[in-house]
């Protein structure tokens, strides 16, 4: 084994793929299968929200945008391009990272729902996570990777097992590293039958922890949601789900009485900045790749590429 990756969320799987497709023998060891990770709960529209630092996430995000835009042409990947708008009842400029999006434009007043005064319209890739995670898992194994379902009790337990170890444990890095600067931002969402909505919608000015968004995924639509800081509860709360549906139906009446198909909760791994750095470890190297907040799907390919380039570089310390 050349590399051991801890975690099979979107960051662990893309890192595993990147290393395996570069020719390394890679094992992913994970406490939970991909479909039971935070990644499985994501919306998952490309965007660099609740994440930093800006100068690094722009580069990673650019790579993520390029890769997922290409994946939208592969039906098996579960990625498509979707148009829609982010709106506010207050003066609000497009975020710094929207400059990466071709075709971004400000909305005319006529395009905004009642009560909203500002907004911008764009097109971006969106992943249907259950399908996308299965695509990533299959691509990883097709590249020769092995996926093992077993928790890592401590980093010391895996020191020396492989020359390269990558820690993609998401919010659980808090205990595994340990890193007290990472914590959960709980997100609950509802999956409903799509009554014919084709554009995404995000309202940016609801009172925390609420955020109103709707992400169409073909026959289904994902309704959000919450940003609950410091909350670890992974069970969907019926009262929150009811309020999510009511918020969405107030914006788009087609959602009144929509059939509810499921509920999901994820713990966004929030940290003041993504931790992407290496340290000596068991005679080899340990890369940390966690803390992607509300943008892990968007950043994962860029972070994976940075690690793979460093691992393959001629002067890489682990190789010597």
Q: Select the span of 91-99, 167-175, 245-253, 275-283 touching ligand FAD (CB under 6 A).
A: 167-175
Cβ nearer to ligand FAD, comparing 20 with 42: 42
Out of 4, 5, 166, 176, point to the residue binding ligand FAD (CB under 6 A). 176
- β strands within 11-69, DSSP E: 26-30
Omega into 209 within 30° of 0, i.e. cis? yes
Distance CA 299, CA 208 (A): 24
Out of 4, 6, 24, 136, point to the residue binding ligand FAD (CB under 6 A). 6
Cβ nearer to ligand FAD, comparing 88 with 300: 300
Contact status: 152 vs ligand FAD (CB under 6 A): yes
Cβ nearer to ligand FAD, comparing 48 with 310: 48
Token pair 């010391």 is at which residue? 156
Tally helices (H) and strands (E) across the chain: 7, 15
Nearest-CA neighbor of 247 among 290, 292, 203, 302? 203
Out of 84, 125, 296, 302, point to the residue binding ligand FAD (CB under 6 A). 296
Cβ nearer to ligand FAD, comparing 39 with 194: 39
Contact status: 167 vs ligand FAD (CB under 6 A): no
State the sign of the Cα–Cα–Cα–Cα dihedral 138, 144, 148, 152: negative
Distance CA 211, CA 226 (A): 6
State the sign of the Cα–Cα–Cα–Cα dihedral 47, 53, 55, 56: negative
Cβ nearer to ligand FAD, comparing 263 with 319: 263
Least distance between ligand FAD and beta carbon 114 (Å): 25
Contact status: 290 vs ligand FAD (CB under 6 A): yes
Binding residues for ligand FAD, rule CB under 6 A, total 42
Q: Restricting to residues 206-235, which ones interact with ligand FAD according to CB under 6 A?
A: 224-225
Least distance between ligand FAD and beta carbon 17 (Å): 13
Cβ nearer to ligand FAD, comparing 47 with 119: 47
Cβ nearer to ligand FAD, comparing 32 with 92: 32
State the sign of the Cα–Cα–Cα–Cα dihedral 49, 285, 32, 80: positive
> Alpha helix locations (H) across 43-202?
54-71, 129-142, 155-158, 173-176
Determine contact, residues 115/229, Cβ cutoff 8 Å.
Answer: no
Out of 295, 303, 304, 307, point to the residue binding ligand FAD (CB under 6 A). 295
Distance CA 214, CA 248 (A): 7
Determine contact, residues 192/245, Cβ cutoff 8 Å.
Answer: yes
Least distance between ligand FAD and beta carbon 222 (Å): 8
Q: Restricting to residues 263-282, which ones interact with ligand FAD according to CB under 6 A?
A: 266, 268-269
212: which strand partners? 203
Site string for ligand FAD, 7-46 (x = CB under 6 A): xxxxxx----------------xxxx----xxx-xxxxx-
Least distance between ligand FAD and beta carbon 90 (Å): 22
| Measured CA distances, 246 to 220, 228, 255, 257, 258 (Å) | 17, 18, 9, 10, 11
Distance CA 42, CA 292 (A): 12
Contact residues: ligand FAD, CB under 6 A = 6-12, 29-32, 37-39, 41-45, 47, 151-152, 168-170, 172, 176, 187, 189, 224-225, 266, 268-269, 290, 292-298
């Amino acid at each position: 084994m050349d590399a051991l990756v801890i975690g099979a969320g979107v960051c662990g799987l893309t890192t595993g793929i990147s290393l395996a497709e570069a020719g390394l023998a890679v094992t992913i060891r994970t406490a939970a299968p991909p479909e039971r990770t935070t990644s499985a709960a994501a919306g998952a529209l490309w965007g660099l929200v609740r994440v930093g630092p800006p100068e690094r996430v722009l580069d990673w995000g650019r790579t993520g945008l390029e890769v997922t835009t290409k994946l939208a042409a592969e039906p098996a990947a579960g990625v498509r391009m979707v148009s829609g708008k982010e709106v506010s009842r207050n003066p609000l400029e497009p975020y710094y990272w929207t400059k990466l999006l071709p075709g971004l434009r400000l909305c005319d007043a006529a395009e905004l729902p009642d009560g909203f005064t500002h907004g911008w319209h764009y097109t971006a890739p969106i992943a249907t996570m259950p399908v996308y995670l299965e695509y990533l898992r299959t691509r990883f194994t097709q590249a020769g990777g092995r996926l093992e379902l077993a928790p890592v009790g401590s980093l010391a337990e895996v020191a020396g097992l492989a020359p390269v170890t990558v820690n993609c444990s998401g919010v659980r890095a808090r205990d595994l590293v340990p890193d007290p600067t990472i914590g959960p931002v709980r997100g609950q969402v509802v999956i409903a039958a799509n009554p014919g909505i084709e554009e995404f919608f995000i309202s940016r000015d609801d009172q925390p922890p609420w955020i109103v968004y709707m992400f169409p995924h073909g026959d289904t639509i994902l309704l959000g949601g919450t940003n609950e800081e410091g909350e670890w509860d992974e069970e969907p709360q019926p009262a929150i789900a009811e309020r999510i549906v009511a918020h969405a139906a107030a914006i788009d009446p087609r959602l009144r009485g929509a059939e509810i198909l499921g509920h999901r909760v994820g713990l966004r791994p929030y940290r003041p900045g993504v931790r992407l750095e290496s340290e000596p470890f068991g005679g080899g190297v340990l890369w940390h790749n966690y803390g992607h907040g509300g943008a892990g799907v968007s950043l994962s390919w860029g972070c994976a590429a940075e690690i793979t380039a460093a691992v393959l570089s001629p002067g890489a310390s682990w190789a010597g």
